[in-house]
Amino acid sequence: MDTSYTDFLSNLKNRVAESRMRAAFKVNQELILLYHHIGTQIIQSQTAHGWGTKVITQLSKDLRNEFPEMKGFSPQNLKYMRRFAEEYSLDEIGQQAVDQLPWGHNILLMYQVSDKNARQFYIRKAIE
């Protein structure tokens, strides 16, 4: 096989891999922002209406019925979203690179590391 074709193919494969990584990164960022928004909305609704945990159960059922192809709307995950919105302001998400970590990593860090400065250290290290 001609080495020029091999180089050509190699460059295209690298480009495809890079594009896939960028797309996955963007999808993750959007999910983190969505989850923060849902958590914020839950907090606002519970504050305004005094709803207990039953709203989370009902919301979980309704969202899963409306979006059956999506995962992530379990009652427990909605509680994680609520906690996430309590822990981070919208401004902090991009500044602290929280949106660069997968959702599961964010949950783990929220519950395992209570000090925000220490948590920020682990976020930076995970990204590196």
DSSP-H helix ranges across the chain:
3-49, 54-66, 75-87, 90-95, 103-112, 116-127
- Written as one letter, the residue type at 53 is T
Which residues touch 49 (CB under 8 Å, ≥6 apart)? 55
pTM: 0.85
> Quick one: CA torsion of 5, 7, 12, 14, rounded to 10 degrees?
150
Rounded to 5°, angle at Cα 105 from 36 and 127: 100
How do residues 97-112 score in pLDDT, each as one tens digit? 888 899 999 999 999 9
How do residues 31-49 score in pLDDT, each as one tens digit? 999 999 999 999 999 888 8
What confidence score (pLDDT) does residue 4 get?
93
**Residue 125: left (phi > 0), alpha (psi -120 to 50), or beta?**
alpha
Say which residue, 75 or 125, is predicted with more confidence.
75
